[in-house]
Structure 1
Amino acid sequence: MGRRTRQAHSDRMITLHIENTIADYDAWKAAFDRYDRARRDHHVLAYRISRPVDDPATVHIDLDFDTREDAAGFVQVLEKIWQTPLSGAVSSTHAAPELRTLEEMTPPNIRV
């Protein structure tokens, strides 16, 4: 998925941070990839997937949005996805993943 251009009215990006426990990364990633169009259709600008080095059963997903409204709207989409049989098959738990909405406080690509 490529990056989309951010809208000029916003200097800060909103990130929806998701932590999820999974059974198998490859199966989870294949399921995640099936929803690429849903991410595009709901204004996801970019995403990042990471895992703790000491916990391969956990994935962290960051989804970037221009606005809090777009992020909040996508939470509703995610809640529907998490109720699907496919989602249940690739998750280790049946609890909804943990969600946090983060606001970017520094310009992108600041390196020290």
Structure 2
Amino acid sequence: MFALQVSYPVRDYEAFKKVFDTDPVGRAALGARSVRLFRDADDPNSVTVLLDFDTKDAANVFLERLRSDVWDKPEVIGQLMTAAPTARILEETAREGQGAG
């Protein structure tokens, strides 16, 4: 399992969440098995999204689509972000606790 971790420094969480909920890239259609949205407990405008994928290739395809369809649009990023989002792909090597397989 691979996770795409995206960090967003947002101007306004509610405005970001409204766009996020429209799913402009099509998460499920591009292979995202699950999506989790987090806010920093001390900075509610620091947002992290974790998307799970079966393969690294699927995570890369989604990331490239996210960049081309959303991040490369100045009208979206300029209105919603205080800086450019960052992303990295993580490989799961162990899982414990509830939901462990």
TM norm structure 2: 0.85
Q: Distance in 2 between matches of 1:82 and 1:103?
A: 23
Aligned residue for 1:102, secondary structure, equals strand
- What is the one-letter code of the residue matched to 2:28? R
Unaligned stretches of 5+ in structure 1?
1-12
Q: Distance in 2 between matches of 1:40 and 1:89?
A: 26
Query: How many residues align structurally?
Result: 96
- Structure 2 residue 33 is matched with structure 1 residue 33: no
Deviations 1:29-80 (A, max 9, x none): 1111112661111111111111111111210100100000000101111111
Deviation >2 Å, runs of 4+: none
Of 83-92 and 70-79, the range deviating more from structure 2: 83-92
- 1:22/1:57 contact within 8 Å kept: yes
- Structure 2 residue 80 is matched with structure 1 residue 90: yes
Superposed, 1:51-66 pairs within 5 Å as 51-66=39-54
- 1:31/1:86 contact within 8 Å kept: no
Unaligned stretches of 5+ in structure 2?
none
TM norm structure 1: 0.77
- 1:47/1:64 contact within 8 Å kept: yes
Q: State the identity as a percent.
A: 32
